[in-house]
Chains A and B, each alone.
Chain A
Amino acid sequence: MSITTITFDEFLASAKEFVEKSEKLGDGWALKDNKTDNLKTYLRKDTFVQCEDGSMNHLLKVEYVIFYNLSYGVPSFSFNAWNSSGTLVTLDDIRKMSFIQINEKDFYSVITQQEHPIFQRPYFIMHPCHTETLLAAFKNKSMNIIVTFLGLITPLIRLNLPLEYGL
């Protein structure tokens, strides 16, 4: 399988197009640009997610961020989640709450807490090496690389992706 990368300009063009569509659909994504460092432009969506932990229900405040990973040349997915008392949720909490649908063996190699390259604070980041191989299978068929990217990861992440993005 070939590996495919995109340039930052391709990412940015796709991100702008994606946000326009998101605004039409009322899906809540926003493009955040960085005046001093254009490469730190990112997509962000804030929302609430209900998760189960055994018999308990939890409401999490979640911030999703999609940014361009310069080293790997791909979009990257990152997030943070807070519980109802405002505490940052741990990776173990996230796994137990089924916020992410990955088996335990793979979980810790797909998602890790890292220093975010843009914010330089701890975030949960999906490892970019998976993105390259996933995008390779779909790049030529895609109307928008961000939609393709999210379509590939929504089976793993509790993230609603309206079908209308594909139209």
Chain B
Amino acid sequence: MANDREVLREIWDGKLPICFQLAQEEIMEIQQPDAFYVMVPRLSYFPLVTDKMKRHFLRYISQENSDSEMWLDYNGQPLKWHYPIGFLYDLYCGNDPQLPWHLTVHFTKFPEDVLLHCTNKDVVEAHFMSTVKEADVLKHRGQVMSTMQKKDHNQLWLGLQNDKFDQFWAINRRLMESHGDSEGFKHIPIKLYSDDGTCSQRLVSPKNNDGSRKTLQQMIAELYPDKLDVQLRTHGIVIPTDTPLQWLSEHLSYPDNFLHMCVF
């Protein structure tokens, strides 16, 4: 049960300062556009927070590109919009903080072999709901999401989209309850990313074979038996290794109900 409300609130309120700059090859006016500075929620997705920035830059690009799909890069790396913003920052800058985070805005040469298209916010919603459902399959065999009503699903999405903590957690708390008679989820929804961006997924139980609560250290020992000093970062924090996994999953998951962790 996600009881530690202070932690939930701190995670929810996490923000990142970002400086968006238009790519030089996109600029069609003699006048250089100002950079666009904004604080964005770590838990959100770029398509949900870039409308104003896009309007700012549209004045400076070629008319024929004004309907083109916008995309972002950091140091030449295209940014996957379907990853939460805070996770993308941890992935690229976790070991070397860069604030504000300087991102480049493009309207041409969409890298189709790397990025998914995102033509509207419905695409973000569909991706988000699909991921929450996947997490629920891992935690409760999908039973919580399938017994919720459509309006509950809508409330999860609207809570995230509109940055409303209480609205979101009124529904999400049900997804953080234990599975059946046990004290914990069936499996922990977790994705682990190495420095090169490779994602690994594993079936991780919140309990050890003796029934005790599995800690982060015990999971690390299971998954990386040959490596020394593995550390995991999420939400910009290096997690103490004695933290119980079930608690982590309840309190430090992203709104999509996954722990997105960087391994280093």
Contacts and interface: CB of A to CB of B under 8 A. Distances in A.
Interface of A: 3, 37, 39, 70-72, 88, 112-115, 117, 120-122, 127, 129
B133 A115 contact: no
A71 B116 contact: no
B116 A122 contact: yes
B205 to A, nearest CB: 13
A134 to B, nearest CB: 15
B109 to A, nearest CB: 14
Given A112-B126, A115-B80, A71 B112 contact: no
A122 B82 contact: no
Given A70-B203, A115-B82, A122 B115 contact: yes
B40 to A, nearest CB: 21
B199 A114 contact: no
Contact of B116 (A3, A72, A113, A117): A113
A109 to B, nearest CB: 9
B201 A120 contact: no
Q: Is the interface of B mostly helix, strand, loop or mixed?
A: loop
A79 B189 CA distance: 25
A6 to B, nearest CB: 13
Nearest to B258: A71
Q: Considering the complex of A and B, which 9 residue pairs feature the smallest CB-CB distances, nearest first? A: A71-B134, A70-B201, A122-B116, A71-B138, A88-B112, A71-B137, A72-B137, A113-B116, A121-B113
Contact of B198 (A71, A113, A120, A127): A120
B30 interface: no
Nearest to B117: A113
Interface string B123-147: 0001100100111011001100000
25 contacts: A37-B200, A39-B200, A39-B201, A39-B202, A70-B202, A70-B203, A71-B134, A71-B137, A72-B134, A72-B137, A88-B112, A88-B113, A112-B130, A113-B116, A114-B116, A115-B116, A117-B199, A120-B199, A121-B113, A122-B112, A122-B113, A122-B114, A122-B115, A122-B116, A129-B137
A70 B192 CA distance: 14
Contacts of A129: 133, 137, 142
Contacts of A122: 112-117
Interface string B197-239: 1111111000000000000000000000000000000000000
Given A39-B201, A71-B201, A112-B126, 14 more contacts: A3-B141, A37-B200, A39-B200, A70-B201, A71-B137, A71-B189, A114-B116, A114-B127, A115-B82, A115-B116, A120-B198, A121-B113, A122-B114, A127-B130
Contacts of A88: 112-113
A56 B134 CA distance: 39
A99 to B, nearest CB: 18
